A = this chain, B = another copy of it.
Amino acid sequence: MSLPHALLGLLAVEPASGYALTKAFETDLGRYAWHAGHTSIYPELGRLAEQGLVEVTAEGPRGSRTYAVTPAGRAELRSWLLDDPAGHSRRVRNEQVLRMFLLSALDPADARIALARIAENTAAGVAELRRVRTAHADKPLIGREGFGQLAAEYGLRQYQAAHDWAIWAMTQLDENTESVGLER
């Protein structure tokens, strides 16, 4: 349940309406880090406001409300980000990694097909993130404009590593099946 922190983080950079926050989750943030729809965002903003971590600073047309973090909210965000990361992330739920675990349940021929597909997809990811990175190359790393820049570089390196792994795994698999073939 990191949604409240995601919202605090976004609002800490720049006050925004629920609608704007919903849009933010439809970009790279929601694509690579954490996804949320408006149906969870609006209630969560209400809860954060109740707790005094955010507040409505303006009301605009179409009934829109602009939220901003309070000092308490900023403190909460800071302590969450500076907290020991090892303690938190226990609710792991990573479908990519799960697929890699389950690869062993396939026969070698199928595993090879799956790996080839992974290699393709990660290559596409690398290409896409390279574009994202280039688009932000001249912006500062910290603050509104730099938002997500460090994350883009991180994603790029992760995809690159995943791609290298897939290639490696395929050669391993080939060597393996080959030697089994010779032995038997």
> Which residues in A have some Cβ–Cβ distance to B below 8 Å?
2, 5-6, 8-10, 12-13, 29-35, 77-78, 81-82, 84-86, 88-108, 110-111, 113-114, 117-118, 121, 124, 140-144, 146-151, 153-155, 157-158, 160-162, 164-165, 168-169, 172-173, 176, 180
The answer to whether B147 and A101 touch across the interface, beta carbons within 8 angstroms, is yes
A10 contacts across to B, CB distance below 8 A: 105
The answer to whether B154 and A107 touch across the interface, beta carbons within 8 angstroms, is no
Q: For A162, give its contact among B147, B158, B164 (CB under 8 Å).
A: B158
The answer to whether B172 and A165 touch across the interface, beta carbons within 8 angstroms, is no
The answer to whether A114 and B81 touch across the interface, beta carbons within 8 angstroms, is yes
Interface SS of chain A: helix
A146 contacts across to B, CB distance below 8 A: 104
Q: For A85, give its contact among B88, B106, B118, B165 (CB under 8 Å).
A: B118
A102 contacts across to B, CB distance below 8 A: 5-6, 9, 12, 77, 81
Q: A105-B12, A141-B104, A147-B101 are in contact. Are A32 and B92 (CB under 8 A)?
A: yes
A150 contacts across to B, CB distance below 8 A: 100-101, 103-104, 169, 172
Q: How far is the CB of A23 from chain B (nearest CB, A)?
A: 15
Q: How far is the CB of A128 from chain B (nearest CB, A)?
A: 11
A160 to B82, CA, bound (A): 21
The answer to whether A98 and B33 touch across the interface, beta carbons within 8 angstroms, is yes
A91 contacts across to B, CB distance below 8 A: 35, 95
The answer to whether A94 and B32 touch across the interface, beta carbons within 8 angstroms, is yes
